[in-house]
Structure 1
Amino acid sequence: MFFERTEIPGVYIVELEKREDERGFFARGWCQREFQQMGLPEHIAQINISYNRYKHTLRGFHYQVAPYQEDKLLRCTRGAIYDVLLDLRPDSPTYKQHITIELTARNYRSLLVPKGCANAFLTLEDETEVTYLVSEFYTPEAERGVRWNDPTFGITWPVSEPAVISDKDRSWPDFAA
């Protein structure tokens, strides 16, 4: 596995180290030892799958607060997403900044979302599926969110309005530090 640092501390793009031959390729999508050697989160409590029927479905921004904060490793296993990671760690030098990345079933990239960061994505194709390796169990009372179009963050999305979004995700209040 190859770990590419981003401009936000603790956030990595993870590329597969493919071993290719005439059959195709073989690669590890997760390796506790490699994450440990990089000083990255290595505990997995659950694996979640997000299936999305329609192009331009928006999910997020979601995160959990202490003591249930979670690290996530996301990979698009079918279709494509425009993923946005938002740094909500007040002590971070990149607090309230974001990065965007396209994750697709074809590019095999993963995104490591550390504790204290929120994540959202917009599907770019119908029938898109995303798999998350998550370090903590989902705890409903610890869930928080940020509205996808909160003016505090100035995020530019590929579309002006999502085609599908939950009432919960559409209704998060304006961000308050």
Structure 2
Amino acid sequence: MSKLIIKPTSFDGLSLVKRVPIRDNRGYFIRLFCREELSCLGWDTPVAQVNLSYSAQKGTIRGMHFQHPPFSEKKLLLCLKGSIMDIVIDIRTGSPTFLQYYTVILSEENSLGLHIPEGFAHGFQTMTDSVELLYFHSAVYSPSAEDGLNPLDPKLALPWPLPHTAISERDEKHPVLNQNFKGIQP
């Protein structure tokens, strides 16, 4: 049966998730989510929300988003069409990787997903036109708890590989880091 292969990263709780398809003369079958297989990552609650984002233009930036406790959430991200450079920033107060970032290319070709634990800001840049990204969330969206970091903040110096072609006004208006940012307790 199709399965998920989990590969930890150097960030506590952050893991790559490889989808292994079963192929035959009809095409393929691929598992996108299995709580039992993801239980080793602490995914022991039902999926609360599933979202799909579509980005039309190569170079689009979305992020860097997170939710404050008690609405912090785990996410599993899968690129279903096209390719993205995904980036997360550890914003967990007291973490040895606090304010460090991790990047990975997710694409329909490499079948990689990214499991993001609570306490990370998340964003991505599209590497192709017509990108579809599927998100599984452990908590529902809470407008009162949403927040973000400015993806173009020179203090973060995020390594966006392409010039940005599209970014929302909301994301551009996220604050830049200052000495008052202490992170969050997930």
Residue matched to 2:10: 7
Residue matched to 1:107: 110
Q: How many residues align?
A: 175
Percent identical: 35
Q: Does 2:63 match 1:60?
A: yes
Q: Distance in 1 between matches of 2:121 and 2:56?
A: 23
One-letter code aligned to 1:164? A
Deviation at 1:34, TM superposition (A): 1.0
Q: 1:118 aligns with which of 110, 117, 121?
A: 121
Deviations 1:27-78 (A, max 9, x none): 3211111112x14224310100101111111100000000000111001111
Q: Distance in 2 between matches of 1:53 and 1:18?
A: 27
Contact kept, 8 Å, 2:13 with 2:41, in 1: the verdict is: no
1:23-172 superposed matches below 5 A: 23-36=26-39, 38-42=40-44, 43-159=46-162, 161-172=163-174
List gaps (5 residues or longer) in structure 1: none
Deviations 1:59-102 (A, max 9, x none): 00000000000111001111111110110001211111111011
Q: TM-score, normalised by structure 1?
A: 0.93
Aligned Cα root-mean-square deviation (Å): 1.3
List gaps (5 residues or longer) in structure 2: none
Q: Distance in 1 between matches of 2:91 and 2:173?
A: 19
Residue matched to 2:25: 22
Q: Distance in 2 between matches of 1:76 and 1:18?
A: 15
